[in-house]
A = this chain, B = another copy of it.
Amino acid sequence: MRDFIIFNPTKIIFGWGVVENCGEEALKIGKKALIITGKNSTKKTGVLDKVINLLKEKGIESVVYAGVTPNPKTEEVDEAAGIGIKEKCDFVIGLGGGSAMDAAKGAAIVLKSAGNLWDYVALPNKKAKQIEDVAPIMLIPTLAATGSEGNPAAVFTNSQTQQKAAIYNPAKLYPKVSIVDPSLTVTVPPKQTAEGIIDIIMHVLEEYLTGDTDCDLQDRITEGIILTCIENAEKVILNPADVRARTNISLASTVALQGLPNAGRYGDWVVHPIEHAITGIYDNIAHGSGIAAVLPSYLRYLGEVKPDKVIQLAIRVFGADEYSDEQELPEVCVRGFEDFISSIGLANNLKDAGVKKEDLIKIADKLIEVSGIPGIIGNKDKLMKLLKDAYKE
């Protein structure tokens, strides 16, 4: 296990109905809010109006930017921050899914550090400008998925260059307060709910699969998050208003990227960057669907080159007998995830997800350009083999 620091200064208020506290909590961090949200759902469900009114009750003004699209674009963030600067907002509220929350983090940077958001994004061939200051951030997730509410990371897409990349800054980008109210997720449609669940699982799987192998407690916590997701996914698909299932999935989402499951180990992030390359090209494929389409093939690949954790998942998550044939165990895990992904209504391969075969090479090139080939994959031939396997003709 490697040395690490646990320090998470975000105050997370968790519980069914706790959105009612948002005005009171906002009072502690600012006077005029720039609320950043998506184009539709928070208006339709009424939660946007609710938040505005809860703020108003405490004497807090707000300005709304409701133009964030999935895989948030840097120009949207720049536009939002421009409004915030003009309107003299002194803090930012991200209300929505990962896109709205990440956009809020981006706007909080631009609001205080000037320039354009893309200046602050590093790429293999591009240095990032240093973040000087960040406006206080409050996040209110309406979807259990990215865990953005408990971490200092955000992912953005530059629509001109079709590049998708992350900003990660523990010194500056933790939200001041996040209000995690699972009741806000009951209106999330089944497909998006499923995509969120896959996203949560992948957040803990990346480091687990290829990171340091002596992290027994982190392994157990990771498996606990996955089991919680799998068991509650079935319930929430049957009954979208299931309080217990929604609550546990929301908590899993927040905990997954809050620091502990991935502490002390360093693995290759593989499925996320591949997915970023996919959705950098296919704006209509949501993050969770992109992950679901690649994960089984990645597990099959690992079953060949680094099978230990795939076998451990087969036993601890999918109930395989540990005395089974070692050769067969990885496939129990691969099929376990394939079946799970199908059972929650998502495509478990790239073809069914809507990717065109001729774009596989474009996806590979995009990955190489934006984040390089992950170490565990090694070279472009192996990457193409994995993508073709994921395409499943």
Contact = CB atoms under 8 A, between A and B. Distances in A.
Interface stretch (A45-53, A244-252, A272-280): A244-252
Interface string A224-257: 1101100110000000000010011001101100
Interface stretch (A8-16, A74-82, A126-134): A8-16
A18 interface: yes
Contacts of A171: none
Nearest to A214: B244
Contact of A247 (B1, B18, B228, B244): B1
A7 B3 contact: no
A188 interface: no
Number of copies: 2
Given A8-B8, A220-B227, A15 B247 contact: no
A11 B258 CA distance: 14
Contact of A14 (B3, B13, B231): B3
Interface in A182-230: 214-217, 220-221, 223-225, 227-228
A149 to B, nearest CB: 11
A276 B252 CA distance: 34
A30 interface: no
Given A260-B260, A263-B14, A217 B252 contact: yes
Interface in A1-43: 1-18
A264 interface: yes
A12 B253 CA distance: 23
A86 to B, nearest CB: 33
Contacts of A215: 248
Contacts of A150: 6
Contact of A214 (B10, B231, B247): B247
A217 B255 contact: yes
A217 B228 CA distance: 6
A232 B216 contact: yes
A224 B220 contact: yes
A5 B1 contact: no
Contacts of A10: 7
A87 to B, nearest CB: 30
3 nearest CB pairs, A to B = A220-B224, A3-B15, A6-B12
5 contacts: A1-B244, A3-B13, A5-B13, A220-B225, A255-B260
Interface of A: 1-18, 150, 214-217, 220-221, 223-225, 227-228, 231-232, 244, 247-248, 251-252, 254-255, 258, 260, 263-264
